[in-house]
Chains A and B, each alone.
Chain A
């Protein structure tokens, strides 16, 4: 079947199998390898992306369900490659070293952007609950928590297009 999905601001038209999972569309069809498949059972959150503005686990969404929609992966945030600045959440994860092995990080960052879009000024408890769907098996949760609270100081941290000021 044919799907039209806007991925990281770029409209795409692709021929896909109806059974293709969104995470495989992003990795294999769109070539965006940052989004990881962790548990593949809707538990770990490594595959979290934004679909139509809210966080979802892309291992449990069909590409077909996203037809006509808008997806943002961690590659769609800020980024210095094309002369831009990092997104406030990316910057805060670096500042607070909110990662160890890094496998959960793309999902953690996208879940954090989603959380901050719904709750721009979360308490520490709200950040813990807001990230309950994302596992860090290095158990580096304290620095992740600090990173999200630091990012929340930026008023735009819930917007995918936000960049830290130069």
Chain B
């Protein structure tokens, strides 16, 4: 399968990316690892006429500590996030989630910013960043603004990014020793989640329980009110009505949400050293 024709241009700096976006407008798409975009282009679900390759912009790939936060450059690969000593120590949920994406070859190419900007509700990272209470730094012509992960995802493949903005960095609070849990239910190895759960520090976010990562508010309130895990997890699907599809009915997804939330919360409690 071959993508429709396009022009390819390689950006050399963050400033150069913005220049190229201004020059090419809405016909252009950003290319980082290409592991969401190229499969769509091969089946002609996307046919941009210009690809702006941002993968080799040096200032967008890093992992660093900034006070109480970890900051991860947008084009940092899933493999780097999974293997980073800093992230494993201070945000282990994030490194674990990155290691659950696809397979080793995919993790070598795919990037954290690319996966988040793609905003697939079944993906691993959007729910993980919502659970972590992460913040995205969005770079545009007038500078950088910060958007909370839970405000960033708007709908299926739709985000708070303006047409002239890019995700430049992802920021997560450093929480060494705080228990976390992660569950992904798939029918086959390497499939997308039928339902996924990420939890840390009493926050819970779910993959594929709607068009954006869902927060089971009733569960979080029950936990905050001192109820046990079993009681809180039983509320995980309250008020959440995911669509049914060929993989699972609405009721089955709600069942999975309750069961997986309980398991994730139990794991988080057993890991907690804080």
B88-117 residues at the A interface, CB under 8 angstroms: 102-106, 108-109
Known: A45-B103, A54-B108, A133-B104. A62 touches B1 (CB 8 A): no
Q: Give how many A-B residue pairs fall within 8 Å (CB-CB).
A: 75
Q: Does B60 contact A (CB under 8 A)?
A: no
B228 CB-CB contact with A under 8 Å: no
Assess whether B20 is interfacial by the CB under 8 Å rule.
no
Specify the chain A residue showing the minimal Cβ separation from B38: A60
A45 with B105: CB separation less than 8 A: yes
Smallest Cβ-Cβ distance to A64: which chain B residue = B8
A56 engages B105 (CB within 8 Å): yes
B22: interface (CB < 8 Å): no
Tell whether, in the assembled complex, residue A60 and residue B109 are in contact, meaning their CB atoms are under 8 Å apart.
yes
Shortest distance from the beta carbon of B75 to any chain A beta carbon, whole Å: 12
Q: Quick check: B8 and A18 within 8 Å, CB to CB? A: yes
Interface size, chain A (Cβ < 8 Å) = 28
* Chain B, residue nearest A47 (CB): B105
Given contacts A18-B51, A45-B103, contact A62 B34 (CB under 8 A): yes
How many positions in chain B have a CB within 8 Å of any CB in the partner chain?
A: 28
List residues of chain B with CB within 8 A of the CB of A64: 8, 10, 53
Q: CB of B190 within 8 A of chain A?
A: yes
Expressed in whole angstroms, the minimum distance between the Cβ of A108 and any Cβ of chain B is: 12
Query: Which of A18, A21, A61, A65 has the most CB atoms of chain B within a 10 A radius of its CB?
Result: A65
Task: For B189, list chain A residues within 8 Å (CB).
Answer: 132
Q: Is B155 an interface residue (CB 8 A)?
A: no
Flag whether A115 is at the interface (Cβ < 8 A). yes
Q: Which residue of B lies closest to A21 (CB)?
A: B2
From A41, A61, A67, A115, give the contact of B109 (CB < 8 A).
A61
Interface presence of A48 (CB below 8 A): yes
Nearest-neighbour CB distance to chain B for A105, whole angstroms, equals 16
**B187 CB to closest chain A CB, in angstroms?**
14
Contact status of A115 and B104, CB under 8 A, knowing A42-B39, A61-B109, A65-B53: yes
B81 to chain A, nearest CB (A): 15
Q: B210 interface residue, CB < 8 Å from A?
A: no
Residues of B within 8 A of A133 (CB): 102-106, 190
Please give me the 7 A-B residue pairs with the lowest Cβ-Cβ distance, nearest first. A133-B103, A18-B8, A64-B8, A54-B108, A19-B3, A57-B105, A133-B105
B interface residues, Cβ below 8 angstroms from A: 1-8, 10, 31, 34-35, 38-39, 42, 51, 53, 55, 79, 102-106, 108-109, 189-190
Can you pick out 16 interface pairs between chain A and chain B where the beta carbons lie within 8 Å of each other?
A: A17-B5, A19-B2, A19-B4, A21-B2, A41-B39, A42-B106, A45-B105, A55-B108, A57-B106, A60-B34, A61-B109, A64-B53, A65-B34, A114-B105, A132-B104, A133-B102
Q: Which residues of A contact B (CB under 8 A)?
A: 1, 17-19, 21, 40-43, 45, 48, 54-57, 60-62, 64-65, 67, 111, 114-115, 130, 132-134
